[in-house]
Amino acid sequence: MAPARHGMLGAMCNLYSMTSNQEAIRAFARFYADLTGNLAPMPGIFPDYAAPIVRNAPEGRELAMARWGMPSSSQALFAATSKRADKLRAKGKEVDFQALLKAEPDSGTTNIRNTASRHWTRWLDIPNRCVVPFTSFSEFNKEAGGDIWFALCDSRPLAFFAGIWVPQWTGVRKVRTGPETIDLYGFLTTEPNAEVGAVHPKAMPVILRTPEEVDAWLTAPTAADAIALQKPLPDGALTIVARGPKEDR
């Protein structure tokens, strides 16, 4: 699995699959424009991968590709830089902390839990809301068998995560690639229900199971109305469909 991302210690869903098709996504989320081209099944989606989202746009909803991982908070980047600086000092090297902070790569924050944070509230209004189609998601638990895959049932029907996105973010994702300008997304988490909690007691994604819930997230008039949907699924709503693999087909 990809490494932990800035700002998500212990509260991560960092792997999911989307093996449904564009027609099913259109019928469910009712987008008007498809910008994805030929959307192949994606049995293993990792942080910083490009994946489909249905986002609010000025002309209406559109299906588009974006990279998974929202801009991290300044606090998370400061903490990451501090760790890097400590390692350099331990090797006897001099550190220009401000220069190091400026150059700190931001690999992205995939999961958003604290929606009251000022870092996230700027993206909670209608223009920056999106939904993320998925068919199953994984929570990692070594003792339970590795990647534990959850779906609504064994047939892995289409559902959506409640997400937010930001257009044309410019920054350094990886040192070797340098500055990039890209669309980014992430999705909300909340306390787990019984099934997820037995494997990963800290969090689960916010899941939308019906077209009405998708509409509610994308069109709620205020951020507070939207955040009312940040809650776990009822106990019994999820099934473990696979254990161990990094992909779920």
**What SS3 class is residue 29?**
helix
- What pLDDT does 206 receive? 98
Domain match, 158 and 40 both = yes
Q: Which of 191, 180, 235, 164 is nearest to 10 (CA)?
A: 191
- Nearest-angstrom CA–CA distance, 135 and 160: 8
- Nearest-angstrom CA–CA distance, 33 and 237: 31
In a domain, 5, yes or no: no
DSSP label of 70: B
Phi, psi of 134 (to 5 degrees): -150, 160
Which residue has tokens 């040192």?
A: 175
Give the pair of three-digit tokens for residue 111. 């999961």
Q: Helices 211-219 & 22-29, crossing angle to 10 degrees?
A: 70
Q: Are 124 and 227 in contact (CB under 8 A)?
A: yes
- What pLDDT does 85 receive? 83
Q: Are 164 and 117 in contact (CB under 8 A)?
A: no
Give the pair of three-digit tokens for residue 27. 């019928």
In a domain, 65, yes or no: yes
Q: Are 247 and 135 in contact (CB under 8 A)?
A: no
Give the pair of three-digit tokens for residue 161. 């995560």
- Nearest-angstrom CA–CA distance, 209 and 159: 5
Domain match, 92 and 158 both = no
Q: Are 1 and 67 in contact (CB under 8 A)?
A: no
- Nearest-angstrom CA–CA distance, 113 and 190: 6
Band of the pLDDT at 98, cuts 50, 70, 90? confident
Domain match, 139 and 229 both = yes
Band of the pLDDT at 219, cuts 50, 70, 90? very high
- What pLDDT does 1 receive? 33
Helix or strand holding residue 96 (H, E): none
Domain match, 112 and 218 both = yes
Domain match, 225 and 171 both = yes
- Nearest-angstrom CA–CA distance, 40 and 239: 25
- What pLDDT does 96 receive? 84
Number of domains in the chain: 2
Residue 191 belongs to domain with CATH number: 3.90.1680.20
DSSP label of 240: E
Band of the pLDDT at 11, cuts 50, 70, 90? very low
Band of the pLDDT at 2, cuts 50, 70, 90? very low
Helix or strand holding residue 229 (H, E): none
Range of the domain at 97: 73-105
Residue 204 in this model has a pLDDT that exceeds 70? yes
Q: Are 20 and 135 in contact (CB under 8 A)?
A: yes
- Nearest-angstrom CA–CA distance, 175 and 244: 31
For 21-69, the pLDDT digits (tens) are 999 999 999 999 999 999 999 999 999 999 999 999 999 999 999 999 9
